[in-house]
Amino acid sequence: MNWPHAPVHWTFDAGIYMVTAGTHQKALLFDTPAKLDQLQQCLLDTAAEFGWRLEAWAVMANHYHVVARSPADPATLAEWIRKLHACSARELNRVDEVSGLKVWFQYWDTHLTHQPSYLARLAYVHRNPARHGVVRDARLYRWCSASWFEQNAPAAFVQTVRALNTDTVNVVDDF
């Protein structure tokens, strides 16, 4: 039997995807504000370059979560993530003055086709820094879209997302 040793990435249909990636051996590599700034900027820049519209993100010391709307060709997801990981790894190696440090382990993606699932994951990503105990209120964590979302989304939509219970959301997040 030919069984994959990594997550299978089936990106056939345009739409909204959730992506989670973790650092190699869950190492806390992005452990300073400057490193988190760099990773977040790389995330924003590469998403725009490949035509992915971010709807939620949370960047942590050893992982990140993203909810993004694909361009017409969602197969660009693999290229986007490959460039994001290469860009952020090169910059981290430069800042830490090391060579060849393995930064990323792998990533998982899910095509969100069911509205309640999409809304729950949007809430989950916005709350992730608080879930991990990094901050009490994720809106105060500058490497997360929670504050941006509340300032830019329609108030009724913000209230809908804020009211959702995310306790049963099934997301790879053992970081």
For residue range 29-50, what is the model confidence (pLDDT) as tens digits? 999 999 999 999 999 999 999 9
Say whether pLDDT at 161 is over 90.
Answer: yes
Closest CA to 132 of 26, 33, 16: 26
Percent of the chain with pLDDT over 70: 93
Residues present in the chain in total: 175
Here the tokens at position 84 are: 């994001």
Say whether pLDDT at 131 is over 70.
Answer: yes
Say whether pLDDT at 17 is over 60.
Answer: yes
**According to the model, what pLDDT value does residue 14 have?**
86
Confidence tier at 24 by pLDDT (50, 70, 90): very high
Helix (H) or strand (E) holding 43: helix 33-49
* Cα–Cα distance list, 122 to 35, 85, 96, 98, 173 (Å): 24, 22, 33, 36, 14
Residue 175 CA to residue 23 CA, distance in Å, equals 9
Task: Give mean pLDDT, residues 52-77.
Answer: 97
Task: Give mean pLDDT, residues 166-172.
Answer: 86
**According to the model, what pLDDT value does residue 46 have?**
98
